Amino acid sequence: MPMKITTLLIAGLLFSSVMFAQKGVEDGSKYGHGEDSIRCLENLSLYSEYYKQNNIKEAYPYWEIVFNECPASSMNIYSHGERMVQAMYKGTKDAAKKDELYSLLMKIYDQRIKYFGTHKKYPTAYINGKKAVSMLTYKRDDTEVIKEAHALLKESVGIRTSKTQSAVLMSYMMSSVAMYKMDALSGEDLVNTYTQVTDILDAKKKTSKKPEVIDEQKKQVESLFAQSGAANCEVLSNIFAPQLADHTQDLDWLKRVNRLLARGDCTESDLFYKSSEHLHVIEPSASSAFGLAQMYMKRKEMDRAVGYFQEAITLEEDDETKAKYHHYIGLIYMSQGKFAQVRSEAKKAIALRSDWGAPYILIGKAYASAASKYGSNEFEHKTVYWAAVDQFKKAKSVDAEMAAEANDLIVMYSQYFPGTEEIFFNTLQVGAAYKIEGWINVQTTVRAKK
């Protein structure tokens, strides 16, 4: 046979042999060809069967062959492989083995992207999100890993937005906080990340069958941000104040900003006041009115505070809480020297909660403060302290918790009672009834200073 023909025959046989047996990893096919395709299908079947039985030890060797030789055969080999490797990682204490398994886990994600990264439901951004979560799970103390994972998470969240897995969102927030503490992320960037994550959670909540789960996640994200140290008043105001005009009707936004400002001890900021007022307009409640009232008390804008306390009383259903609000108004009037109004509010509180001593204490203090302006002489001034002490005694008689304060006030103001001679010269007797006129208009008993 001529040499040329012999050479051609040998080449043909070699070519046919290659075509007959070729791995999927070599030619890009799903299972490979020839004997290798049979080997792939056999191992695919064996590992799957053991995997269904949760027998990782038996499943893994067959899975490894499929993973290495026919990586395009099934997307399941990646989700199954991920779970098996994670279980194996958890089950070993050997540091070298853990490193080996971690590397394999990263390879699983990367290879999945190579062969199934264009999948419609689970694309590259989805896979990278999972990869980053695993990186932070197993290498949480490695700063370089944190940086790499954060970059993957940022890209994943940016692409998938409301489709982002919850674990990815939480990891993105945690890694952002870690980056901020490493000085690898600015405070403003962290605020923007927080806003992005919470906006996505708000969007997810609208379609969620378990909105309470989303609410819990939002609390966790908020807590992470609040504890980061980035939520200082200046940063928060710089970020959110320019946005307020566009969010005056956005309940979720207003609540979020309001909570952040409160957590950051920024309750004196204009943004806190304005956001609280807009929030109250949309969702008025006794508690929001009470909050506004307290804010304006701090700012010494007492008339506005009284207005919100009065609104809180109107919106409140619980009598004890209403009594508390009336007492607050009484305290404001006390600071303004409006003693008749002090008593009026205190009496309203007593009508709602008769066993509370604080309103009686307040009335007594109002009487004592008004003493110098009552009557036309020193003796008449002093008679008002009888009425004040009557109120302090009443306070401790109805409320044992007020006894200590009431007793101190009794001792203090009894010193201002008129002496025995003053009482005699004013034709009165100790123990006799005495009427205090004017706005006070109460019956009391004559007593001498001891």
Proportion of the chain above pLDDT 70, given as a percent:
95
3-state secondary structure of 411: helix
Q: How many Å apart are CA 136 and CA 102, to the nearest integer?
A: 11
Q: What is the dihedral of CA 153, 158, 162, 165, to 10 degrees?
A: -10
Residue 243 makes CB contacts below 8 A (sequence gap 6+) with: 253
- Of 387, 393, 415, the C-alpha closest to 406 is 393
d(CA 339, CA 364): 10
Pick from 440, 408, 421: nearest CA to 379: 421
Range scoring the smallest mean pLDDT among 35-39, 51-55, 260-264: 260-264
Residue type, 115: Y
Pairwise pLDDT comparison (56 vs 227), residue with the higher score:
56
Output the CA–CA distances (angstroms, integers) from residue 242 to 56, 169, 232, 271, in the order listed: 56, 26, 16, 10
Spatial contact of 274 and 244, defined as CB atoms under 8 Å apart: yes
Tell me the per-residue pLDDT of 316-375, one tens digit each, with 9 for 90 and over: 999 999 999 999 999 999 999 999 999 999 999 999 999 999 999 999 999 999 999 999
CA-to-CA dists, residue 226 to 65, 174, 183, 218, 271, angstroms:
48, 12, 17, 12, 17
Residue 419 DSSP class: P
Interval 370-405: pLDDT, tens: 999 999 999 999 999 999 999 999 999 999 999 999
Decide if 332 contacts 299 (C-beta within 8 A): no
Taking the model in full, what pTM does it have?
0.60
Amino acid in position 236: L
* The predicted structure's pLDDT at residue 216: 93
Question: Among residues 100, 101, 31, 113, which one has the least CA distance to residue 72?
Answer: 31
What distance in Å separates the CA atoms of residue 433 and residue 169, rounded to the nearest whole number?
Answer: 75
Residue-averaged pLDDT of the chain: 91
The SS3 of residue 434 is strand
Looking at residue 263, what is its pLDDT? 73
The string of pLDDT tens digits covering residues 412-450 is: 999 999 999 999 999 999 999 999 999 999 999 999 998
- The CA distance from 220 to 202, in Å, is 14
Question: Do 52 and 95 touch, CB atoms closer than 8 A?
Answer: no
